[in-house]
Amino acid sequence: MMNESLKARRIAGKACFYLFALLIAFVVCVPFFWMLVTSLKSRGAIMSVPVEWLPKEPTLEAYRKLFSLPGFAGSVFNSFYLSVVCTVVRLVCAAMAAFALTKISFKGRELTFKIYVTALMIPVQITFIPLFIVMTKLHLTNSLNAFLMLQLFNAFAIFMLRQRMMTINNAYIEAAVIDGASMWKIFYRIMMPLCSGTLATLAILAFMDLWNDYLLPLVLLTDRAKYTLPLLLSTLSGQYKNQYNLMMAGSLVSILPILAVYICAQKYFKEGLTVGGVKG
């Protein structure tokens, strides 16, 4: 009897948990549903009373107008270029730094890592003014390639990869050295494949960070032809501030690449996030 009562309580607990989870999922998904619905409405249907939760006459006019805006297609390309190329540069540089700080012994290694970690405590916003001054003197403002230089050092990525590499047994490296492998070959043939989960996690986070970045492009870019998607969408709040279907269509287009990247690499995401708990 006791076992049956305990089993019933467990079933009831699980049912309550799943109902609560479904409620949270519903609350989270409502804004995205409303964004999609609004983007498919005409301007007249947006202000209709009562509210149309499903458009009676769905239309893609907002999307057609969005892609016909001057510079919109170019801004999408600029965002893709920066997000993809800068993500690759960030991961490669961070992996090399983490490998050196983990598997190569040199004087001051621990001190160097502590300095890297200290950089995590500096708010990025306070670096914008000195960064703009430096980039201006180097004639790198208003250039998309200037963003690549800023990816050579990323303390968070280095920290995550170092924590993952600390869990890799040095026996792999010793066996490769005995076989005559160079440090470069050990790095990209052994260490990189073993860190694939962490690299996938960092790729998602880096892509999201770079795709959604608004402040840094705002500081460094002035030519409208070089605008990224967040910068261009911010201009819609002026001339097109009353065209909510257009603004919702732009917002939906901006989140689709992030969803696609996350769906493709989600199986590595949980594994990669756990490596930060490794004691170092």
What mean pLDDT is reported for the chain? 83
Regarding predicted confidence, which is higher, 122 or 2?
Answer: 122
pLDDT at res. 92: 92
d(CA 228, CA 221): 9
Q: Alpha-carbon Rg of the chain, whole angstroms?
A: 24
Amino acid at 219: V
3-state SS of 220-271? HCCCHHHCCHHHHHHHHHHHCCCCHHHHHHHHHHHHHHHHHHHHHHHHHHHH
Domain 67-277 has CATH 1.10.3710.10: no
pLDDT at res. 196: 83
pLDDT at res. 275: 52
Most confident option among 21-25, 110-114, 177-181: 21-25
d(CA 91, CA 197): 12
Segment 29-57 shows an average pLDDT of 78
Inform me whether the pLDDT recorded for 280 exceeds 50. Answer: no
Q: Tokens standing for 6?
A: 């305990």
Regarding predicted confidence, which is higher, 237 or 129?
Answer: 129
pLDDT at res. 278: 46
pLDDT in tens, 112-141: 888 888 888 888 888 888 888 888 888 888
pLDDT in tens, 139-155: 888 888 888 888 888 88
Q: How do the domains of the chain map onto residue ranges?
A: 2-39, 67-277
Inform me whether the pLDDT recorded for 277 exceeds 70. Answer: no
Amino acid at 154: N
d(CA 231, CA 220): 11
- Looking up tokens 């989870």 gives 21
Helices (H), 106-168: 109-118, 128-137, 146-149, 155-165
Q: Tokens standing for 261?
A: 């990247």
Q: Tokens standing for 229?
A: 């998607």
pTM score, whole prediction: 0.80
Angle at 7 between CA 4 and CA 12, to 5 degrees: 125
pLDDT at res. 1: 53
pLDDT at res. 268: 67
**First-to-last CA distance in the chain?**
50
Segment 156-160 shows an average pLDDT of 89
**Are 128 and 136 in contact, with CB atoms under 8 Å apart?**
no
pLDDT at res. 269: 64
Segment 217-245 shows an average pLDDT of 81
**CA atoms 265, 268, 270, 276: torsion sign:** negative
> How many alpha carbons fall within 13 Å on the CB side of residue 75?
28
Regarding predicted confidence, which is higher, 268 or 34?
Answer: 34
Q: By C-alpha distance, which of 45, 62, 61 is closest to 53?
A: 45
Regarding predicted confidence, which is higher, 276 or 89?
Answer: 89
d(CA 256, CA 248): 12
Inform me whether the pLDDT recorded for 165 exceeds 70. Answer: yes
